[in-house]
Copies of this chain bind each other. A is one copy, B any other.
Amino acid sequence: MNSAASKPALVGIDWGTSSLRAFLIGAGGEVLDSIMSDEGIMHVPDRDFDAVFDRVVGSLPVGPGLPVLMSGMITSRNGWVETPYAQLPLGAERLAGSIVSHGTKTGAEVHFVTGAATEHKGGPDVMRGEETQIVGVAALGLTDGLFVMPGTHSKWVNLEGSGIANFSTYMTGEIFAALKDRTILGTLIEDGDYNGAGFEAGVAAGLEDSADLLHNLFHVRTLPLMEMIPKPAVADYLSGLLIGTEISAATQDVDTADHITIVGRSDLSDRYEIALRLGGFQNRHAPNDVVARGHFEIARYAGLIG
């Protein structure tokens, strides 16, 4: 347990598809303690969410009666309690107003954040969990502008003031894995260390022409066959091509002088940082654990924190 600046005020849980993180949050919004588990919603035995919840919260140094707020895919159809999608624009206050409460088998009351939905020309976009991260980001003073949240399905979020004005989802990460595993491109890919030159060449090709991805993907095959890039560079060239294409599409209306904020820390967010720099975009990283700050803000607006 970290040294605590204030007494525990809230348990916040970010419960996703493949893992969950539970935070003990102090009265000033700071993280006092946290636990990580690989019991994401797809890995909960017998879908017994109560059992996982009791065990996880029981392992935090938390007395009875502390409010609990959860966000993420735990609120989806395949989760514990399905919550509706809130419409945009959306900030802490509206999320607080649409919390869904639920009694556990052991008699505790827990609260769930709703997801967010919006509608584009081609169809709806949805998020569950990222809206809480964004609330945390905004509470830390990073308001207005464009935010990218790298992941299997990356999210690009427009903030106006502290509220989500618009967002889009890109399937880039999942498509990378499918192409690597299931196409002729995969047979060219050798395992190895990160190849920076290959990644940056791919990014450049993607940034150059995002409209021609289905064609550019064929070059991932011809470039090594013609010995124009070395085979150990192929995987990172493909990764760069996809991320560059995503950035080009997602920033069509963005001035290159604008700041773009990267939310989340991972090898993947390092790749986005490199690619954004190559595209001429200023970028900065949001702090870690912004989701806990989002739980705190929403709980405060909802009057859950005494």
**Which residues does A use to contact B, with CB under 8 Å?**
120-126, 153, 168-172, 174-175, 177-179, 181-184, 205, 208-219, 222-223, 225-226, 228, 242, 245-246, 248-250, 252
Contact = CB atoms under 8 A, between A and B. Distances in A.
Contacts of A218: 123, 125, 153, 168-171
20 contacts: A122-B205, A122-B215, A122-B216, A123-B205, A123-B216, A123-B228, A124-B219, A171-B218, A175-B179, A175-B183, A175-B214, A178-B182, A181-B182, A182-B182, A211-B211, A212-B249, A213-B245, A213-B249, A214-B245, A215-B249
Nearest to A237: B123
A301 to B, nearest CB: 28
Q: Most B CB atoms within 10 A — which of A214, A215, A252?
A: A214
Q: Which secondary structure characterizes the binding site on chain A?
A: helix
B171 A214 contact: yes
Assembly of this chain: how many copies? 2
Contacts of A181: 178, 182
Contacts of A171: 183, 214-215, 217-218
Given A213-B214, A214-B245, A208 B121 contact: yes
A294 to B, nearest CB: 23
B252 A120 contact: no
B183 A222 contact: no
Nearest to A242: B214
A234 B170 CA distance: 18
A223 B122 CA distance: 9
A210 to B, nearest CB: 5
A124 B184 contact: no
Nearest to A121: B208
B124 A228 contact: yes
A252 B179 contact: no
